[in-house]
Amino acid sequence: MHGPLSALLQAGVFLAPKPWDDPRLFGEQIVLGLATGAVYALVALAIVLIYRSTDIINFAQSEMAMFGTFAMWSIWLSGVPFFSNPWALLVLAGLFGLGLGAVVERVVIRPVEGKPLLTIVVVTLGLFLLLNSVATWIWAQGELPKSFPSPLSVLKAVDIGFANIPQHHLLIFGVGVATMVLLGLLFNYTKLGLAMRATAQNPLAARLMGINVGNMLTLGWALSGTLGGISGALIAPVLSLHPAFMLSVLLYAFAAAVLGGLNSVPGAVVGGFIIGVAENLLGTYTPHAILGPEMKLPLALMLLVAILLVRPTGLLGERAVRRV
Amino acid sequence: MEMEVWPFLALSLGVTGLVRLLPWGTERQRIVASLLVLLAFMCWAPFVLDNFRLFQMTRIAVLGLALLGLNILTGYNGQVSLGHGAFVLMGAYTVAVLLDRKEQLNLIDASPWPFWATIIVAGILAAAAGLVIGVPSLRLSGPYLAIATLAVMISFPIIVRKYGAFTGGSQGLGFSRPPQPPFLEDLISREAWMYFLCLLVLVVMVLLGWNLLRGQFGRALQAVRDSEVAAAAMGIDVARVKVLAFVISAFYGGVAGALLGLISGIVNPDTVDIVQSINYLAGIVIGGLASIMGSIIGAAALVFIPSDAAKVVAKLPILSSDVVTRAPGAIQGAVVIVVMLLMPYGVAGVLHRLARLRLDQIAARWREAPALLSRSLQRASWTWDIRPWARHGPGTGHSPREGVVGRGQGNLPTQQPREDPTKGGQ
């Protein structure tokens, strides 16, 4: 064999690290992937929650979370006793997201409800530009990115038997899973959750049953804002704060949501974990000369597009049947 | 003679509008004449505007081209794409690679690429990329397509950075902007030459686009947008039309990118970033969907909002000028949301209605005004009444907005079917 291809082969361009060379590294990649996957799953859940009930894809999800995280950073800097504790910040981030989500739904989204897809997409994109720009204006002064506190340490690792994992990543995984469990309990075992599911399934019938559909929609946005806020505060110590820091998370979350099927809640969770792990494995075990860690995002997105082409509604999504 | 840009634009648009609206000749003559007048004014621009404003006008021409491409795909064909910036960036890189690396990519006779050839190559390469992306996109629709194209837009700069040996990595590529042809050297400056080049390409591409969109293909595009099933039933090859829309849109994007590269002389992965790509979509929405004129109006909005909105908004007492100078995107986002809520057909839609107004109809409208006003006041007092003791109002469950209808479609009090002022009486 001659020519450029054989030269590339001899130069080892296509050589990739092998998982069995270093099983500990492999284990670490898997667990780290599950941890970031939990964050992706949270944001994906936020997207799916809104999409199920209103058919709206919220492109501003990342910026809402980013905005809240920056607000938390301000509180942390201000040094107010009790509230500027990193644990308290996690809770506050959720509460801030709750409020922001509700306000956004009432002020921006309500007027365009039921309008064509393009209108809604553009409005959420307008919100994206607005929040991004305001955050840049308020917070992006001086040195960027800014560091965000973690309740535990990002650097100190814990040996969990087959891998060394930073404490913070264990926290991400724990809080992420706990949030999902709480959300599952809310939806499946409370009257409020039942009302929200009914609203998502058939707003007209829900209204006839005496459910205040408008309030349920606001609550859906508020919950999704909460999920975004918590995920922002969870991932910020790892990624550091920057006006665009949630954008890549949003893309992975889109990938997760679409992978699972945009209208499937379990799909979002499964998709989040799959994308988290796949991202790490693709970054580590592909030839670094031509792919490697920098290409994690494009690789994950290509994976997404490939899956979409085989199953346009995602792994667990239901095919929508339309009457024309 | 020197002029500020706003008086200049007011003058040119005013004269154009007069030619268009004054009652003379046939409708067709009025349209053609007004466009020629506008073109003449635009050719006059380099001689009256300063360099900064001229560069802005050049950017409007380039952006207008890019937005026209996106409008063909999204406005006319209904495929929502957030990835148009990728095609523009690709066009810019094509030009940069061809002009910067003359030694490696020489033509057969070892002469460097002429700049006009790189524009064509950029368009063709981008169109090929449009084909590659358009075919798989056939399986995606609505939000899925928006997300997939967003993914393309995000990935492209990352790939460009990774393969830096060819693309110059994060630093990008620099090259010298093409000099004016010899016979123009004494007449116009380099900036004016760049402007005329972009204006020429824009005019040619607009004519091509207009020719394409007014005919059978344009109608097929819109039929597919409005209903794929109905379009297929009428014998339109839906898949072919959708892929072609992608290819043509990408071609426009590639040519716009080539011009963008040529006017700036440097291309790097941040030349078109994701916010810019989102702005393209915002631009066609502000300007007007499915409208050639709307694309160019949108481009003007995208250029002038960051630079001039500051001065306008700073006069408002509630905001400090600080917001505006440091957060132009905030205004842009707000403008997008407000336009979406108030003018679903964008500025071009409003102008279109204005152009159809006739003086006698306006007079009729004025005579009707008191009745209209009282009717709308009546309506407002009903829907906006927030007195808690009022039986009809939001929150009481008796307001028409909260009646038993599908969510979001408030059941407003029956409106008198008002005669459409845009129709009849021509």
| All residues at 6 or more sequence positions from B216 whose CB lies less than 8 Å from its CB, including other chains | none
Range in A3-17, A29-43, B366-380 the model is least confident about? A3-17
Is B397 a domain residue? no
Q: Which position has the higher pLDDT, A262 or B222? A: B222
Query: What per-residue confidence (pLDDT) applies to A150?
Result: 81
Residues B134 and B39 in one domain: no
- Token reading at A237: 């110590």
Residues B32 and B77 in one domain: no
Contacts of residue A304 in chain B, CB cutoff 8 Å? 148, 151
Is B404 a domain residue? no
Contacts of residue A57 in chain B, CB cutoff 8 Å? 143, 146-147
CB-CB under 8 Å, A57 with B337: no
Residues in chain B: 426
Q: Is B328 on the interface with A (CB under 8 A)?
A: yes
CA-to-CA separations, B161 to A61, A281, B156, B171, in angstroms, rounded: 27, 21, 9, 9
Residue A287 to residue A265: CA distance in whole angstroms: 35
- Closest chain A residue to B164, measured at CA: A290
CB-CB under 8 Å, B142 with A295: no
Is B1 a domain residue? yes
Q: Which burial class, exposed, middle or buried, applies to B159 when counting CB atoms under 10 A from its CB (0-12, 13-18, 19+)? A: middle
Residues B363 and B346 in one domain: no
Query: What per-residue confidence (pLDDT) applies to B128?
Result: 95
Query: What per-residue confidence (pLDDT) applies to B403?
Result: 43
Query: What per-residue confidence (pLDDT) applies to B71?
Result: 94
Residue B71 to residue B295: CA distance in whole angstroms: 7
Residues B320 and B426 in one domain: no
Which of A56, A110, A118 has the highest number of chain B CBs within 10 A, making it the mutation to test binding with B? A118
Looking at chain B from residue 384 to 403, which residues have their Cβ under 8 Å from any Cβ of chain A?
402
Q: Is B319 on the interface with A (CB under 8 A)?
A: no
**ω into A145 cis (within 30 of 0):** yes
Mean local confidence (pLDDT), A158-171: 82
Q: Which position has the higher pLDDT, A309 or B228? A: B228
Residues B36 and B180 in one domain: no
Is B401 a domain residue? no
Kind and range of the H or E run holding B10:
helix B5-21
Rg (CA), chain B: 24
3-state secondary structure chain A: CCHHHHHHHHCCCCCCCCHHHCHHHHHHHHHHHHHHHHHHHHHHHHHHHHHHHHCCCCCCHHHHHHHHHHHHHHHHHHCCCCCCCHHHHHHHHHHHHHHHHHHHHHHHHHHHCCCCHHHHHHHHHHHHHHHHHHHHHHHCCCCCCECCCCCCCCCCEEECCCCEEEHHHHHHHHHHHHHHHHHHHHHHHCHHHHHHHHHHHCHHHHHHCCCCHHHHHHHHHHHHHHHHHHHHHHHHHHHCECCCHHHHHHHHHHHHHHHHCCCCHHHHHHHHHHHHHHHHHHHHCCCCCCCCHHHHHHHHHHHHHHHHHHCCCCCCCCCCCCCC
Q: Where are the beta strands (DSSP E) in B152-201?
A: 173-174
Q: Is B136 on the interface with A (CB under 8 A)?
A: yes
CA distance B139 to chain A (A): 6
Rg (CA), chain A: 21
CA distance B286 to chain A (A): 10
- Token reading at B157: 């700069």
Residue A54 to residue A281: CA distance in whole angstroms: 35
Contacts of residue A119 in chain B, CB cutoff 8 Å? 340, 344
- Closest chain A residue to B337, measured at CA: A123
CB-CB under 8 Å, B329 with A132: yes
Residues B366 and B319 in one domain: no
Q: Is B39 on the interface with A (CB under 8 A)?
A: no
With the C-alpha atoms ordered B139, B143, B144, B148, is the resulting torsion angle positive or negative? positive
Question: Taking chain A, what is the end-to-end CA distance rounded to the nearest angstrom?
Answer: 57
Report the number of distinct structural domains present in chain B. Answer: 3
Contacts of residue A110 in chain B, CB cutoff 8 Å? 408
Residues B28 and B170 in one domain: no
Three-state DSSP state, B332? helix
Q: Which burial class, exposed, middle or buried, applies to A323 when counting CB atoms under 10 A from its CB (0-12, 13-18, 19+)? A: exposed
Domain boundaries, position B21 = 1-49
CB-CB under 8 Å, A308 with B144: yes
Looking at chain B from residue 158 to 177, which residues have their Cβ under 8 Å from any Cβ of chain A?
158-159, 161-162
pTM above 0.90, yes or no: no
Which of A123, A125, A201, A207 has the highest number of chain B CBs within 10 A, making it the mutation to test binding with B? A125
| Phi, psi angle pair for A202, to nearest 5° | -155, 95
Which of B226, B335, B337 has the highest number of chain A CBs within 10 A, making it the mutation to test binding with A? B337
Q: Cβ(A280)–Cβ(B144) under 8 Å?
A: no
Is B188 a domain residue? yes
Contacts of residue B322 in chain A, CB cutoff 8 Å? 137
Query: What per-residue confidence (pLDDT) applies to A272?
Result: 93
Residue B200 to residue B180: CA distance in whole angstroms: 14
pLDDT string in tens for chain B (426-residue length) = 778 888 899 999 999 888 888 878 888 898 899 999 999 999 998 888 888 999 999 999 999 999 999 999 999 998 989 999 999 999 999 998 888 765 555 555 556 778 888 899 999 999 999 999 888 888 887 788 888 888 889 888 888 888 877 777 778 888 878 878 877 777 788 889 999 999 999 999 999 999 999 889 999 999 999 888 999 999 999 999 999 999 999 999 999 999 999 998 889 888 898 888 988 998 998 898 889 999 999 999 999 887 887 677 766 666 555 555 566 677 777 887 888 777 877 888 888 777 776 666 677 777 777 777 777 666 655 444 444 444 444 444 444 444 444 444 444 444 444 455 554 443
Mean local confidence (pLDDT), A239-246: 85
State percent of chain A over pLDDT 70: 93
Q: Which position has the higher pLDDT, B175 or A217? A: A217
Is B282 a domain residue? yes
CB-CB under 8 Å, A297 with B334: no
Contacts of residue A114 in chain B, CB cutoff 8 Å? 406-409
Q: Cβ(A45)–Cβ(A265) under 8 Å?
A: yes
CA distance A198 to chain B (A): 13
Residues B275 and B308 in one domain: yes
CATH code of the domain covering residue B108: 1.10.3470
Is B284 a domain residue? yes
Residues B128 and B233 in one domain: yes
Q: Which burial class, exposed, middle or buried, applies to A306 when counting CB atoms under 10 A from its CB (0-12, 13-18, 19+)? A: exposed
Residues B16 and B131 in one domain: no
CA distance B393 to chain A (A): 15
Which of A108, A115, A133, A294 has the highest number of chain B CBs within 10 A, making it the mutation to test binding with B? A133
**Of B240, B303, B341, the residue nearest B9 (C-alpha):** B303
The answer to whether residue A86 scores a pLDDT higher than 90 is no
Q: Which of A73-82, A116-125, B9-18, B362-371 has the highest mean pLDDT?
A: B9-18
Strand A157-159 to strand A164-166: parallel, antiparallel, or no bridges (unpaired)?
antiparallel
Q: Who among A57, A295, A304 is closest to B162 (CB)?
A: A295
Mean local confidence (pLDDT), A263-270: 88
Residues B92 and B69 in one domain: yes
Kind and range of the H or E run holding B266:
strand B266-267
Contacts of residue A111 in chain B, CB cutoff 8 Å? 341
Residues B85 and B208 in one domain: yes
CB-CB under 8 Å, A133 with B328: yes
